[in-house]
Amino acid sequence: MATAVAEHAVVDGATAIPLLVYFSSVSGNTARFIEKLEARALRIPLHSPERGGGPPLVVDEPYILVTPTYGGGQGRGVEKGAVPKQVIRFLNDEHNRSLIRGVISAGNTNFGEHFGLAGDIISRKCHVPHLYRLEVFGTPDDVRRVSEGLERWQKLL
């Protein structure tokens, strides 16, 4: 609808929908979700350069982070291991950390109170909103809600 389009900030003729930065392990669930969004997205490499991976990801514009949660039920303390180490490494770069504007967590409700815990931790540590929690690779409803959210969330940039 014209009203929705008119609300967007236009940068160089393109609509300013936030950049997504995401991590996805070998199971690839989060990557599948990202593909369905058809948004601009950059992937945090699975492996460090020492282990044959690509160069570390460095971003140069505000972004929303999408991350799965791991570590649940390992009995090592509630939060230990919940944020993937690749995501921690990415956020340990001060420049990358300064550009995060929100976080979306992926997980599995089987993990009960640990569902999407990585998003809670990042939200607290980086002082950004935990925008959405989705399960595995997301339902069509998740895709719709997050797509609509991205249009609203561009005001966070």
Ligand X SMILES: Cc1cc2nc3c(=O)[nH]c(=O)nc-3n(C[C@H](O)[C@H](O)[C@H](O)COP(=O)(O)O)c2cc1C
CB of 33 to ligand X, least distance (A): 8
Shortest distance, position 108 Cβ to ligand X, whole Å: 4
Shortest separation between residue 107's beta carbon and ligand X, angstroms? 2
Looking at the Cβ atoms of 117 and 154, the one nearer to ligand X is 117
Count CB atoms within 10 A of the CB of residue 46: 16
Tell me the sheet residues that pair with 102: 64
Give least dist CB 44 to ligand X, A.
11
- CB proximity list for 151: less than 8 A, separation 6 or greater: 4, 7, 8, 17
CB 18 within 8 A of CB 101: yes
DSSP assignments along 108-133, one per residue:
-GGGGGGTTHHHHHHHHHHT--EEEE
Nearer to ligand X, 83 or 128 (CB): 83
Beta carbon nearer to ligand X, 30 or 154: 30
Contacts of 139 (CB under 8 A, 6+ apart): none
- List of residues contacting ligand X (CB under 6 A): 24-25, 27-31, 68-72, 82, 106-108, 111, 114-117, 136
Cβ closest to ligand X, residue 108 vs residue 147: 108
User: Whole-angstrom Cα distance, residue 31 to residue 139?
Assistant: 14
